[in-house]
Structure 1
Amino acid sequence: MTAAANLAIRLRRAAFNRALVEGDLQAIGPILAPDAVLVTGSDSAVLAGRKAQLLAWKREFAAAPRTLYVRTPERIVASPVEPVALEHGRWAATGAMIASGDYSAKWRETAGGWVIEAEIYLTLA
Structure 2
Amino acid sequence: MARARFNRALADADLSAIGPLLGPDVILVAGTDSAIINGRKAQLLAWKREFSARERMIYARTPDSILVSPVEPIAMEHGHWQGVASDSGATLASGSYSAKWRESGGAWVIEAEIYLTLA
TM-score (norm 2): 0.94
Structure richer in helix, relative to its length: 1
Deviation track 1:35-83 (CA, whole Å, cap 9, x = no partner) reads 0000000010000000000000000000112111000001000000000
> Residue 113 of structure 1 aligns with which residue?
107
RMSD: 1.1
Structure 1 segments, 4+ long, off by >4 Å, are: none
State the distance in 2 between where 1:73 and 1:99 align: 17
Question: Structure 1 residue aligned with 2:38, among 43, 48, 59?
Answer: 48
TM-score (norm 1): 0.90
- Comparing 63-72 with 91-100, greater Cα deviation is found at 91-100
State the distance in 1 between where 2:106 and 2:78 align: 22
Structure richer in strand, relative to its length: 2
Identity of aligned residues (%): 65
Indicate whether 1:59 and 2:59 are aligned: no
Gaps of 5+ in 1: 1-10
State the distance in 2 between where 1:20 and 1:112 align: 23
Deviation track 1:2-45 (CA, whole Å, cap 9, x = no partner) reads xxxxxxxxx00000000000000000000000000000000100
